[in-house]
Structures are given as structure tokens and as C-alpha cells.
Amino acid sequence: MLPLLGTDEDVVAFLAGVADLDATDPADHLLEEGVRLASGARLEQFARAGSGDAFCFVGEGGEERPVVYVSLDGESGPLALGLPELVRLCLVAPWWRDAPGRTTGELQGVADEYREDVPDLDQRRDRAAQALGIDPAGLPSEATVLDRLAELSRGPVAETCLVVGYEGEPLDPLFDAAHR
């Protein structure tokens, strides 16, 4: 799936253009020196956000590895167990970065703003999903993917995905487990 994230026109248009997950030039994806996992396991950046924040695989293996987000603002946290789960998150709730600390009503407002800014959001999402071999009708709900973020942020996956900065201190959690 990873090669499609950086080469398929519909996928790039949605993931990089709407969801801010850019996997178009993997050679440019380098973590800040000294940023690492507390466990010493491998932390491999495979995509970036426009801000320079990093999407990284944890440990050894392929696309099934946990995915952690590392913010230049000193925050990090697990987003998904594997690339397919991350892609579904980005397809369903491309505004996921705005979720922490918001109520369900506030999150609906964020989603509505996204739809105002990108009027063809659903059509673009569906084209990207189909290009990735995902049936858009089978995508989870926004509530489901946001609940999954909260679940990952407070359990053993969060401990496995603990990132420390170049000064050796753990980065702040990306998500408060009580985001909803």
C-alpha cells in the first residue's frame, strides 16, 4: 500500500492534499536527530505532514507495524496498528489532529468546516479509497476511528510507542485518552 500513497494521483490528492499525509518523496523523510523510541526499537519515518511532523513505523517489519505521529511541537502518539488502519483514519477523519480535547459537537463542527473548505471531500475520499482497493461503503464511522485513537493512546501500544526527544525526555502525549 505504501507505494500507492506516494504515486497514485487520487491517493496523493486526498492524503497529501486533504489529510496532510505526504508520502511522495520517502528520501526526504528524516526524523530530527536524537528523536527515538524509549524502548530502543526502530523508528522509521515514511511520510510527513506539511508542518514537517512525522509519520513513523515502530519496530521491524512491514506495513503491519504500529504507526506513531511525531510532532515538531514535542508531542507524539500512536495512530494505528498498521498502515491500512492509518489510511482508514485519514480517509474517514482527515481532520484527526483537531480531535484532542473536543466534545462530539465540537468535532462535528470541525468536520463541517473541512467539508466547507473541501466541498468535494467525500468524492475525493471515495476515489482515493477505491484506488487503494478499499470499498468506501466499508469505511468505519468517524466515531469509531476517533475512539480507536483514544484506545491506542492509553494502553500497552502507547507504552511501546513512547518517543523521546533529542534531549532524552519523553515527548508529550499526542492525545488525551479522554478526547471525547
> Which pLDDT tens digit goes with each residue over 153-172?
888 999 999 999 988 999 99
Please give the average per-residue pLDDT across 11-39, as a whole number: 88
> HEC string of the chain?
CHHHHHHCHHHHHHHCCCCCCECCCHHHCCCCCCCEECCCCCEEEEEECCCCCEEEEECCCCCCCEEEEECCCCEEEEEEECHHHHHHHHHHCCCHHHCCCCCHHHHHHHHHHHHHHCCCHHHHHHHHHHHCCCCHHHCCCHHHHHHHHHHHHCCHHHHHCCEECCCCCECEECCCCCCC
pLDDT in tens, 51-110: 889 999 999 999 999 999 999 889 999 999 999 999 999 999 998 888 766 676 787 888
33, pLDDT greater than 80: yes
How high is the pLDDT of residue 130?
A: 97
Average pLDDT over residues 43-48: 93
Mean pLDDT, residues 18-41: 87
pLDDT for position 29: 67
pLDDT band at 178 (very low <50, low <70, confident <90, very high): very low
Question: What is the pTM assigned to this prediction?
Answer: 0.91
Question: What pLDDT sits at residue 176?
Answer: 63
pLDDT tens column, 127-149: 999 999 999 999 999 889 988 98
pLDDT at 64: 96
Confidence of residue 125 (pLDDT cuts 50, 70, 90): very high
